[in-house]
Amino acid sequence: MESIKVFAPATVANVACGFDIFGFAVDAPGDEVIVKKRNDKQVIITKISGDEGKLTFDANKNAVTVPILAFLKKNGIEQGFDVELHKKMPLGSGLGSSSASSVAGVFAVNEILGKPFTTKSLLPFSMEGERIACGSAHADNVAPALMGGFVVIRSYNPLDIFNVPTPPELYVTIVHPDIEVNTKDARYILRNEVSMKNTIAQMGNVAGMIAGLMQSDYDLIARSMVDFIIEPVRAILIPEFWEVKHAALEAGALGCSISGAGPSVFAFSRGIETAEKVGMAMKTAFEKASIHCNGYVSGINCQGPKVIG
């Protein structure tokens, strides 16, 4: 095989109560990467689209190629590649844009080499893409983009990650307002200390969320979708956040919170019809304040990245 085209999905990180430890993949949007073998050892970015000229062509600094370079170096592989990156989602959106690129690149290279390594073993390399893009190698976007489904990062050191099954009727609505939030900034504003009271409340919700997902207990999922620690601080970065959340809950959502570092806002619903109704309500709330937005409705994507050409 000389060339391969791969899709890697957008992801929702944190999922209300699980800052840096919960994330799941969606069906769309996602990034596409084309990787072609070269006759030398170089890794070159030949084309980037959909980024409005914002991303670097420097392979040592772009989230799509940093994981590829780390993977090739660690495994002593001397094959070079031309890499095309087609961004199909906005940057700085809270949809795991850099993670989708990081995953698509290294997944494509492993596939084109005949899949010498397991998909899960590509995770530490993909995390290097996140580090270069956001200044922090958190895995709650990268892991679900790579492994699909709902992922829990039980530990970062050592890395310990597992999937949790999700109920069949669980749908997500994501609304992306047309503003940009830089993940580095959204992490910088967080407090370093958390009160005992909030820690206890948050731990209860983390446990409740996992049990709710595993038991298809939609009411338990709903009760667990409360973030005492991050959302109250970050809401300030998203105009109309509280109005949008209120609109989602009024329209029948199980819960609603910030997607990753924002500004996208996500809601869980039982059934696609409710998820679509929730999307309309959320968009209307943003648009009342003259904030243009895009919406997506999806089930939980259990596949993760896939070869599309």
Nearer to ligand HSE, 11 or 301 (CB): 11
Q: Which residue from 69, 151, 225, 261 is in contact with ligand HSE, where contact means CB under 6 A?
A: 261
- CB of 294 vs ligand HSE, minimal distance in Å: 19
Would you count residue 128 as binding ligand HSE (CB under 6 A)? no
**Of 65, 183, 231, 240, which residue is the catalytic one?**
183
- CB of 63 vs ligand HSE, minimal distance in Å: 11
**Of 32, 128, 130, 240, which residue is the catalytic one?**
130
- CB of 191 vs ligand HSE, minimal distance in Å: 13
Would you count residue 87 as binding ligand HSE (CB under 6 A)? no
Would you count residue 187 as binding ligand HSE (CB under 6 A)? yes
Would you count residue 212 as binding ligand HSE (CB under 6 A)? no
Nearer to ligand HSE, 66 or 109 (CB): 66
Q: How far apart are CA 31 and CA 34, in angstroms?
A: 10
Number of residues that bind ligand HSE (CB under 6 A): 13
Q: Which two tokens stand for residue 36?
A: 């072609």
Q: Which two tokens stand for residue 270?
A: 């039982």
Would you count residue 27 as binding ligand HSE (CB under 6 A)? no
- CB of 134 vs ligand HSE, minimal distance in Å: 6
Nearer to ligand HSE, 92 or 305 (CB): 92
Would you count residue 176 as binding ligand HSE (CB under 6 A)? no
Three-class DSSP labels, the chain: CCEEEEEEEEEEECCCCCCCCEEEEEEEEEEEEEEEECCCCCEEEEEEECCCCCCCCCCCCCCCCHHHHHHHHHCCCCCCEEEEEECCCCCCCCCCHHHHHHHHHHHHHHHHCCCCCCCHHHHHHHHHHHHHHHCCCCCCCHHHHHHCCEEEEEEECCEEEEEECCCCCEEEEEEEECCCCCHHHHHHCCCCCCCHHHHHHHHHHHHHHHHHHHCCCHHHHHHHCCCCCCHHHHHHHCCCHHHHHHHHHHCCCCEEEECCCCCCEEEEEECHHHHHHHHHHHHHHHHHCCCCEEEEEECECCCCCEECC
Would you count residue 260 as binding ligand HSE (CB under 6 A)? yes
Q: Which residue from 45, 134, 146, 278 is in contact with ligand HSE, where contact means CB under 6 A?
A: 134
Instruction: Assess contact for 108 and 85: CB atoms under 8 A.
Output: no
For residue 32, indicate whether it is catalytic: no
Q: Which residue from 31, 32, 140, 240 is in contact with ligand HSE, where contact means CB under 6 A?
A: 140
Q: How far apart are CA 269 and CA 298, in angstroms?
A: 10
Would you count residue 20 as binding ligand HSE (CB under 6 A)? yes
Stretch in the footprint of ligand HSE (CB under 6 A) among 39-47, 59-67, 136-144, 265-273: 136-144
Instruction: Look at the block and give the residue holding tokens 């990034």.
Output: 31
Nearer to ligand HSE, 13 or 33 (CB): 13
For residue 183, indicate whether it is catalytic: yes
Would you name the residues annotated as active-site residues? 130, 183
**Which residue ranges make up the site for ligand HSE (CB under 6 A)?**
13-14, 19-20, 134, 138, 140-141, 183, 186-187, 260-261
